[in-house]
Amino acid sequence: MKTLLTGAATLALLAGAVHAESHLVSTGDKRIALSNNYAGNSWRQAMLQTYEDTAAQAVADGVVAAGDAFTTSENQATEQAAQIQNMILQGYDAIVLNAASPTALNGAVKEACDAGVVVVSFDGIVTEPCAWRIAVDFAAMGKEEVDYLATRLPDGGNLLEIRGLAGVFVDDEISKGIHEGVAEHSQFEIVGSVHGDWAQDVAQKAVAGILPSLPEVVGVVTQGGDGYGAAQAFAAAGRPTPLIVLGNRQDELKWWAEQRDANGYETLSLSIAPGVASLAFWVAQQILAGEEVPKDLTVPFLKITQDDLDAALASTPEGSVANVSYSLEDAQGVIADAK
Amino acid sequence: MLSRYRIILPVVSLAVLLAATFYMQPRAMSYFGLNLLFNLAVPIALATIAQMMIIMVNDIDLSLGAFVSLAACITATYLNDTPLLGVLILLGLVASYALMGAVIHTLDLPAIVVTLGMSFVWGGLALFILPTPGGAAPGWIRTLMTVKPALVPMAVLAAVLIALVTHLLVIRSRLGTVLRGVGGNARSIARAGWNVTVLKATAYGLAGLFGVLAGMALVGLTTSADANIALRYTLLSIAGVILGGGEFIGGKVSPVGAVIGALTLTLAASFLSFLRLSPDWQIGAQGAILILVLTARLLFSRRGAAA
């Protein structure tokens, strides 16, 4: 009798749960594909790995029927357009897309939408209105760096800006955000700006070159992949290490931990986690489930503070970048924020 | 005997690959499916014809991919915003191709070097026009590329049309015969009283024309352009010509074969993707298909020569 009662209670609970999700339909028979244009660096490798892990788990749990990943052999828009058209033919219900070009895939994306396929683009987003976009607010990331510096250095001072690869959209956006931040916190002044190309060795050379001409620098704003090189350049020049905002790379985190242990160095590290692919996967799943999702969503940054440093460093493989795998709940949170 | 029917092998390759694709993916065996499989082959077919015009006169064009990208960028910007200026620029591009042919012949320069150099010029111009991806396809091109004719999908119809027109132009017409003659034996053509410089300029001009058409067709499909949109076309077009039964020297080309070659290459990529082959292996597998077909051709032509 008791088991029967418990059973009934469980059933009632289940019914309640089903009721709460009543506007959503099951996606157990739906198939999701990842169309990826490039796999040639550690960020993309981590991205593919996270996607595959997330998709495999979702398939095992019966949330979706398939979550295959495809990468084009060459980073070319025409090839990826053909890949998307093949996915339509293969009967996928949704395509999660990291695009080779924001515009050159629009024709193929439109074909997919017309065929009733849900297209969710992320990182490399597409402009076709029928697709969903999970964009990165790079300008906000740049501004956040200066905001953080303002909390740590209320008196302000001179800043050195390390930029990324010249002529790339991301570089312009982050830099724009940094300059907005400096305009807001007028106690700061950018006294030098170099291009570090998001690579430690390039950044080190560039910073070493400009350092002799600079007055005292209290902070360095970066774009990720360049903080460690900057620190090395300051050390080689015999100057005190300023407050360098880092970009989640493993070598940067390791250096930060060493400095913290040696002299209590404190900073902030932020970047976009490659796990954004798993966020896109869940967003696609939610759309298939019938959830009303706004077309434009924003990815949260992955921020590492003094408190999470040890955990982040432990979970980041050497030569890689700190990552986080987004869950269904994270996706629901992002969707709710955008509404 | 068999070498006379050089068109047989490309047709057989395409048929075999098509059958295999239909077996793997029955959904492709429909109006909608065929269009999806082949619509991106239309600009490749046009680019392959362009490359064929150059190979026909014993040269090779390494700038075609960059040139098609440039044409695509102009189509998505000037041709859309100021149609008259756009047409003029595109005509100017065709003229500059003709000029390039004349210069290559007059100064006796190796085409491979000149076109490689020009690829940077075209690439630079494309970046100058569209520094960031964008632009929009003119409405009429978009309509043309997405038209849904009765019975036969646009992609198939376009391929047949391109093959037919270029067959008449290159194989049947007087001009085409003389142009192929330039590839066969330029000296005897010159002795017969033809101006070879003008003929080469014509061949290059035709290549420029088809290159521009390829760019326009591509933008019609993608809806907007990107300075690097067609870089792959250089190699694809060369492979397409050879796969279609053309030869690097001697003016031995087949327009129908070239179109079929372009379709085969496009289909090969889709087929490999349906096989769920890892992308790392796909380039190699694509090469393997190419080598397989070429080996078959060599065997046939040897046996044909022996017979």
Using CB atoms, which residue from B221, B232, B279 is nearest to A71?
A: B279
Confidence of residue A1 (pLDDT cuts 50, 70, 90): very low
Using CB atoms, which residue from B231, B274, B279 is nearest to A90?
A: B274
Q: How far apart are CA A52 and CA A58, in angstroms?
A: 10
CA distances from A189 to A210, A226, A234 (A): 16, 20, 19
Q: Does A108 touch chain B (CB under 8 A)?
A: yes
Handedness of CA B154, B156, B160, B163 (dihedral sign): positive
User: Using an 8 Å Cβ cutoff, are B119 and B63 in contact?
Assistant: yes
Q: What is the pLDDT of residue A167?
A: 63
Nearest-Å Rg of the Cα atoms of chain B is 19
DSSP-based three-state secondary structure for A55: helix
Give the nearest chain B residue to A86 (CA atoms).
Answer: B270
Q: Test A78 with B276 for CB contact under 8 angstroms.
A: no
User: Using an 8 Å Cβ cutoff, are B221 and B204 in contact?
Assistant: no
Average of pLDDT values for A130-150? 92
Query: Token pair for residue B130?
Result: 């569209």
CA-based nearest residue to B189, from B181, B197, B180: B181
Q: Does A101 touch chain B (CB under 8 A)?
A: yes
Q: Write out the CATH class of domain A27-136+273-301+325-338.
A: alpha beta
How buried is residue A122: exposed, middle or buried, by Cβ count under 10 Å (0-12/13-18/19+)? buried
Contacts of A52 in chain B (CB under 8 A): none
Q: Which one of B24, B144, B223 makes the best mutation probe of the A interface by having the most chain A beta carbons within 10 Å? A: B223
Average of pLDDT values for A104-132? 92
Residues 6+ apart with CB under 8 A from A143: A177, A178, A180, A181, A184
Average of pLDDT values for A10-24? 47
Kind plus residue range of the DSSP H or E element containing A69: strand A66-71
The DSSP annotation for A24-54 comes to ----TT-EEEEEES---SHHHHHHHHHHHHH
Q: What is the pLDDT of residues A32-84, one digit of tens each?
A: 999 998 877 777 888 999 999 999 999 999 999 999 988 887 778 888 999 99
Kind plus residue range of the DSSP H or E element containing A270: strand A269-271
Which residues numbered 129-148 in B keep a CB inside 8 Å of some CB on A?
Answer: 131-135
Q: How far apart are CA A99 and CA B68, in angstroms?
A: 21
Q: What is the pLDDT of residues B75-121, one digit of tens each?
A: 999 999 999 999 999 999 999 999 999 999 999 999 999 999 999 99
* Side-chain half-sphere exposure of B261, counting CA atoms within 13 A: 31
Q: Test B25 with A107 for CB contact under 8 angstroms.
A: no
Q: What is the pLDDT of residue A15?
A: 42
Q: Does A91 touch chain B (CB under 8 A)?
A: yes
Confidence of residue B157 (pLDDT cuts 50, 70, 90): very high
CA distances from A330 to A135, A270, A327 (A): 15, 18, 5
Unique residue bearing structure tokens 């129908």: B256
Kind plus residue range of the DSSP H or E element containing A120: strand A118-122
Contacts of A89 in chain B (CB under 8 A): 25, 27-28, 33, 36-37, 270, 274
The answer to whether residue A250 scores a pLDDT higher than 50 is yes
Kind plus residue range of the DSSP H or E element containing B114: helix B111-129
Q: Does A128 touch chain B (CB under 8 A)?
A: yes
Q: What is the pLDDT of residue B2?
A: 45
Contacts of B266 in chain A (CB under 8 A): 82
Average of pLDDT values for B42-61? 96
Unique residue bearing structure tokens 């349906």: B274
Query: Token pair for residue A136?
Result: 């990165």
Q: What is the pLDDT of residue B1?
A: 40
Q: Does B283 touch chain A (CB under 8 A)?
A: yes
Query: Token pair for residue A310?
Result: 């040890």
Average of pLDDT values for A86-93? 92
User: Using an 8 Å Cβ cutoff, are A279 and A117 in contact?
Assistant: no
Q: How far apart are CA A96 and CA A153, in angstroms?
A: 42
CA-based nearest residue to B216, from B134, B299, B142, B129: B142
Contacts of A115 in chain B (CB under 8 A): 32
Q: How far apart are CA B180 and CA A106, in angstroms?
A: 40
How buried is residue A165: exposed, middle or buried, by Cβ count under 10 Å (0-12/13-18/19+)? middle
Q: What is the pLDDT of residue B256?
A: 94
The answer to whether residue B132 scores a pLDDT higher than 90 is no
Q: What is the pLDDT of residue A3?
A: 47
Using CB atoms, which residue from A39, A91, A104 is nearest to B222?
A: A104
Q: Does A81 touch chain B (CB under 8 A)?
A: yes
Q: How far apart are CA B188 and CA B133, in angstroms?
A: 48
Range of lowest pLDDT (A3-7, A137-141, B152-156, B205-209): A3-7
CATH domain A138-271 topology: Rossmann fold (3.40.50)
Q: What is the pLDDT of residues A154-167, one digit of tens each?
A: 999 999 999 987 76
> Which residues are registered as beta bridge partners of A192?
A160
Using CB atoms, which residue from B25, B36, B226 is nearest to A101?
A: B226
Q: Does A167 touch chain B (CB under 8 A)?
A: yes
Measure in Å the smallest separation between the Cα of A116 and chain B Cα atoms: 13
Q: What is the pLDDT of residues A197-242, one digit of tens each?
A: 888 889 999 999 999 999 999 999 999 888 999 999 999 999 999 9
Q: How far apart are CA B224 and CA B218, in angstroms?
A: 9
> Which residues are registered as beta bridge partners of A118?
A94
Handedness of CA A8, A9, A11, A12 (dihedral sign): positive
Angle in degrees, CA B246, B252, B258, rounded to 5: 30
Using CB atoms, which residue from A74, A76, A110 is nearest to B223?
A: A110
Query: Token pair for residue B295?
Result: 């080996």
Unique residue bearing structure tokens 């047949």: B160
Number of residues that this document lists for chain B: 307
Q: Test B229 with A77 for CB contact under 8 angstroms.
A: yes
Using CB atoms, which residue from A39, A73, A85 is nearest to B40?
A: A85
Q: Test A81 with B232 for CB contact under 8 angstroms.
A: no
Q: Does A45 touch chain B (CB under 8 A)?
A: no
Q: Tell me the CA end-to-end span of chain A in Å, nearest whole number.
A: 47
Q: Test A70 with B225 for CB contact under 8 angstroms.
A: no
Kind plus residue range of the DSSP H or E element containing B51: helix B41-56
Q: Does A129 touch chain B (CB under 8 A)?
A: no
Residue-range domain boundaries for chain A:
27-136+273-301+325-338, 138-271
Q: Test B279 with A104 for CB contact under 8 angstroms.
A: no
Given the DSSP bridges, would you call strands A302-304 and A94-98 parallel, antiparallel or unpaired?
Answer: unpaired
Which residues numbered 196-235 in B keep a CB inside 8 Å of some CB on A?
Answer: 218, 220-226, 228-233
Contacts of A111 in chain B (CB under 8 A): 36
Q: Test B230 with A79 for CB contact under 8 angstroms.
A: no
Q: Write out the CATH class of domain B7-21+31-298.
A: mainly alpha
Q: What is the pLDDT of residues B245-302, one digit of tens each?
A: 888 888 889 999 999 999 998 998 888 888 887 766 777 777 787 788 778 877 877 7
Contacts of A76 in chain B (CB under 8 A): 228, 231-232
Q: Test B223 with A107 for CB contact under 8 angstroms.
A: yes
Q: Does A106 touch chain B (CB under 8 A)?
A: yes
Kind plus residue range of the DSSP H or E element containing B5: none
CA-based nearest residue to A188, from A216, A150, A161: A150
> Which residues are registered as beta bridge partners of A97?
A35, A121
Q: Quickly list H helices, A68-152.
A: 77-89, 106-114, 138-152
A27-136+273-301+325-338 shares its CATH topology with A138-271: yes
Please give the distance of CA A59 from its chain centroid, rounded to a whole number: 24
Confidence of residue A20 (pLDDT cuts 50, 70, 90): very low
Give the nearest chain A residue to B286 (CA atoms).
Answer: A73
Kind plus residue range of the DSSP H or E element containing B38: helix B31-38
Using CB atoms, which residue from A78, A103, A110 is nearest to B40?
A: A78
The one-letter amino acid at B259: V
How buried is residue B277: exposed, middle or buried, by Cβ count under 10 Å (0-12/13-18/19+)? middle
Using CB atoms, which residue from A81, A90, A169 is nearest to B222?
A: A81
Measure in Å the smallest separation between the Cα of A118 and chain B Cα atoms: 17
Q: Test B232 with A169 for CB contact under 8 angstroms.
A: no
- Look up residue A239 and give its DSSP letter: P
Percentage of residues of chain A with pLDDT beyond 70: 92
The answer to whether residue A16 scores a pLDDT higher than 70 is no
Q: Does A103 touch chain B (CB under 8 A)?
A: yes
User: Using an 8 Å Cβ cutoff, are A66 and A59 in contact?
Assistant: yes
Q: How far apart are CA B244 and CA B238, in angstroms?
A: 10
